[in-house]
């Protein structure tokens, strides 16, 4: 027997399998196995380099992100550089639902939003800031109910023009119950409804009111009736990114908190020559007065006190040297019209106070009474003049209370009332409001109060 050869029929082991056959058969099997190994070695995929593996993973991640972006769509899209801030952020689940959305921005800007359409759409509550970067991370479910997450990082446009907003009320200051909230815009506003929608109020006591556009740069808020005494008011204008006019966007938000103090109501009759002073609904004083002489009557109307000075120089009555000319320092003066009408001390007319109208249009008070009223007065205290032969002039002072509630409502671009309280404010149809039971002069102004010869409303108390 030859060395190294197996006899016919002798078992031969190959790869753990026992093979029987002739030597030629066995050689064929071994050769075939060798060829198979060679073919396998020739057809195998060469191992990837680290760079190739990274690129492959990147392509896979990109494809996955694209798929997620179709099922959980964020607008503005990732990579946008000129997003319109007025349109805000929208997240839409095309097959499933949206469960959570977080928005981050340099500077810690908070962006809130709400879900609608059965959880399929999330939209930001307010507009976005101009020239700002935002990153949105949205989580939801796909069509099969599996959790998915996608992100979008974008930047809002830089507008060619912006508007700024100022509020008259000072932080932490206290005002009377007739005080309007007064906003001034640096640019004319044509998209007035959008600006109104961006405004919100939080009040410590329930308040119903309305916004009123005096003109394209002035917007005021007035309650339906006087503010409840001792109310804290917080105003927020979410104005950043609001398109107030074509191509003109709000530069920044605006916030302010102030207080409404005690109720102090003054009512002056040009015919009874008396003024009643009510504090917190009770008659405090009933003083003799002298109002404007027949040629210079004090105009009718429900005004609010604008400012006070002691003393103030009053000049008027024509050219120097003319019969009606005057130039005097007047003490303890509380102003209620821009044209120069005041409640003030008038020692020179004490003899006429209570019987005759001799002033140049102001309400003359006895000196001691003028001091008392001056010390009590703050901006926003209602002052009503009645039974005059002269009508009040719109915008000669803070004249928001000239208008009855029904007409004041029409000054709103939305034609909606505002209901405010500790939880914030909302716009509501006027028809949904309860009936108004407030009575003049202590809780609200009388209808037609600025017309000449209006009825004397100084009857309460």
**Residues labelled catalytic:** 344, 362
Beta bridge partners of 17: 14
Q: Cα–Cα distance between 432 and 177 in angstroms, integer?
A: 24
Q: Which SS3 state, helix, strand or coil, does residue 353 take?
A: coil
Q: Cα–Cα distance between 222 and 445 in angstroms, integer?
A: 12
- What is the C-alpha R_g of the chain? 40
- Which residues make Cβ contacts (< 8 Å) with residue 414, sequence separation at least 6? 193, 196, 197, 211, 427
Length of the chain: 461
Per-position DSSP letters for 360-383, written without gaps between them: SSSEEE-HHHHHHHHHH--TT-EE
Query: Is residue 275 within 8 Å of residue 363, measured between CB atoms?
Result: yes
Query: 3-class secondary structure for 330-346?
Result: ECCEEECCCCCCEEEEC
Q: Cα–Cα distance between 242 and 123 in angstroms, integer?
A: 16
- Which residues make Cβ contacts (< 8 Å) with residue 117, sequence separation at least 6? none
Query: Is residue 394 within 8 Å of residue 408, measured between CB atoms?
Result: no
Q: Cα–Cα distance between 303 and 337 in angstroms, integer?
A: 8
In the numeric block, which tokens belong to residue 262? 């005690």
Q: Cα–Cα distance between 133 and 153 in angstroms, integer?
A: 7
How many CB atoms sit inside 10 A of residue 383's CB? 30
């Amino acid at each position: 027997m030859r060395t190294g050869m197996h006899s016919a029929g002798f078992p031969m082991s190959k790869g753990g399998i026992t093979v029987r056959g002739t030597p030629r058969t066995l050689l064929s099997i071994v050769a075939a196995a060798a060829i198979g190994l060679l073919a396998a070695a020739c057809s195998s995929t060469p191992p990837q380099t680290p760079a190739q593996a990274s690129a492959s993973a990147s392509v896979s991640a990109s494809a996955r992100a694209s798929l997620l972006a179709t099922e959980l769509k964020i607008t503005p899209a990732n990579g946008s550089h000129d997003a319109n801030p007025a349109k805000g952020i929208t997240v839409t689940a095309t097959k499933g639902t949206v469960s959570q959305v977080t928005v981050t921005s340099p500077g810690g800007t908070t962006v809130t939003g709400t879900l609608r359409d059965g959880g399929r759409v999330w939209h930001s509550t307010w507009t976005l800031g101009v020239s700002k970067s935002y990153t949105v991370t949205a989580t939801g479910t796909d069509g099969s109910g599996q959790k998915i997450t996608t992100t979008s990082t974008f930047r809002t446009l830089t507008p060619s023009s912006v508007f700024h907003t100022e509020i008259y009320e000072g932080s932490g200051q206290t005002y009377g119950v007739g005080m309007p909230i007064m906003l001034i815009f640096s640019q004319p506003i044509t998209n007035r409804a959008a600006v109104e929608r961006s405004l919100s109020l939080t009040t410590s006591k329930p308040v119903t009111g309305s916004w009123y556009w005096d003109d394209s740069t002035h917007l005021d808020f007035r309650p339906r009736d006087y503010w409840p005494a001792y109310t804290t008011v917080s105003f927020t204008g979410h104005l950043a990114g609001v398109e107030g006019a074509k191509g003109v966007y709000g530069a920044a938000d605006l916030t302010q908190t102030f207080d409404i103090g005690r109720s102090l109501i003054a009512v002056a009759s040009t015919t009874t020559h008396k003024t009643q002073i009510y504090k917190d609904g009770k008659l405090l004083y009933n003083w003799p007065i002298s109002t404007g002489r027949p040629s210079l009557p004090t105009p009718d109307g429900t005004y609010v006190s604008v400012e006070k000075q002691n003393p103030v120089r009053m000049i008027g009555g024509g050219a120097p040297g003319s019969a009606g000319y005057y130039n005097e320092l007047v003490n303890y003066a509380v102003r209620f019209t821009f044209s120069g009408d005041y409640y003030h001390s008038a020692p020179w007319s004490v003899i006429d106070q209570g019987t005759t109208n001799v002033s140049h249009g102001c309400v003359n008070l006895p000196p001691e009474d003028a001091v008392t009223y001056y010390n009590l007065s703050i901006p926003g205290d209602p002052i009503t003049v009645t039974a005059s032969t002269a009508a009040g002039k719109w915008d000669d002072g803070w004249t928001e209370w000239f208008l009855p509630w029904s007409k004041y409502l029409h000054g709103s671009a939305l034609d909606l009332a505002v209901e405010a309280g500790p939880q914030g404010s909302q716009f509501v149809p006027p028809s949904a409001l309860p009936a108004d039971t407030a009575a003049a002069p202590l809780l609200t102004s009388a209808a037609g109060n600025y017309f000449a010869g209006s009825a004397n409303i100084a009857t309460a108390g």
